[in-house]
Amino acid sequence: MKNTVRQIHKYLDRFISLLCDLTALITFVFLVSLFFQVMMRYVFNHPIYGIDEATRRERIAKYAQLFEIESKLGDLVGSYSHGMCQKLALIGALIQQPKLLMLDEPFVGLDPKASHTLKEIMRELTETGTAIFFSTHVLEVAEKLCNRIAIIKNGRLIAAGPMEEVRGNQSLEELFLELTDA
């Protein structure tokens, strides 16, 4: 198993580096293509479903406008800053409109306006029934956005539940420090 994980990790490293030679628009096409669906299903055992071209174009235009990157969609991804790559990754996830969206540190690298935009998108998605699970070290963001939280220490769940119940009458930061210093 350990060798398989290493092989997949190496493959992913090479796979990601290939995207640097593509434009953002081609990357989005690839993300919803049959090849990507097959690769995700059979290599990573993760089902992903394609969307038709008109819907894809509409969603790309919507999110590119919201994240203010329309003029950069034709540029090579390798020329993007960290923040631009983060926007690209977010748009790639959002155009699929999943019912469960899992994001690892989605605000890292985003400028304040893009962070605000992402928060608004997340609120809209949850209002339409999408569940969003995201990790963050910025506890103020979690406190403002989340209705349920989980605190993990050394890979072990130490607190979980509705925000108000878990937090009580202290800030999330105070609770986190209390639980993780023990």
Delimit the domains of the chain by residue range.
Answer: 2-97
Residues in the chain: 182
What is the predicted pLDDT for the residue at 37? 60
Q: Which residues pair with 76 in a beta bridge?
A: 23
What is the predicted pLDDT for the residue at 13? 39
The answer to whether residue 19 scores a pLDDT higher than 60 is: yes
Nearest to 108 by CA among 141, 83, 89: 83
Q: C-alpha angle 9/157/125, rounded to 5°?
A: 75
- pLDDT by residue (tens digit) across 45-98? 554 455 777 888 899 899 999 999 999 988 888 888 889 988 988 888 888 888
Instruction: Yes or no: say if 33 and 50 are a contact pair by the CB < 8 Å rule.
Output: yes
Q: C-alpha angle 46/74/132, rounded to 5°?
A: 35
* Chain centroid offset of residue 110 CA: 12
Nearest to 51 by CA among 100, 104, 102, 92: 92
Distance in angstroms (rounded) separating the CA atoms of residues 7 and 25: 29
- pLDDT by residue (tens digit) across 129-175? 999 989 998 999 999 999 999 999 888 999 999 999 999 999 999 99
Instruction: Yes or no: say if 28 and 56 are a contact pair by the CB < 8 Å rule.
Output: yes
Alpha helices in the chain, H assignment, sequence order: 2-19, 24-31, 34-42, 53-66, 82-94, 112-127, 139-145, 163-167, 172-181
| Residue 7 pLDDT grade (very low, low, confident, very high; cuts 50, 70, 90) | very low
- 37 versus 60: the higher-pLDDT residue is 60
Amino acid identity for residue 71 in this structure: S
What is the predicted pLDDT for the residue at 22? 74
Tracing tokens 């009458």 back to the chain, one arrives at 169
Distance in angstroms (rounded) separating the CA atoms of residues 174 and 28: 41
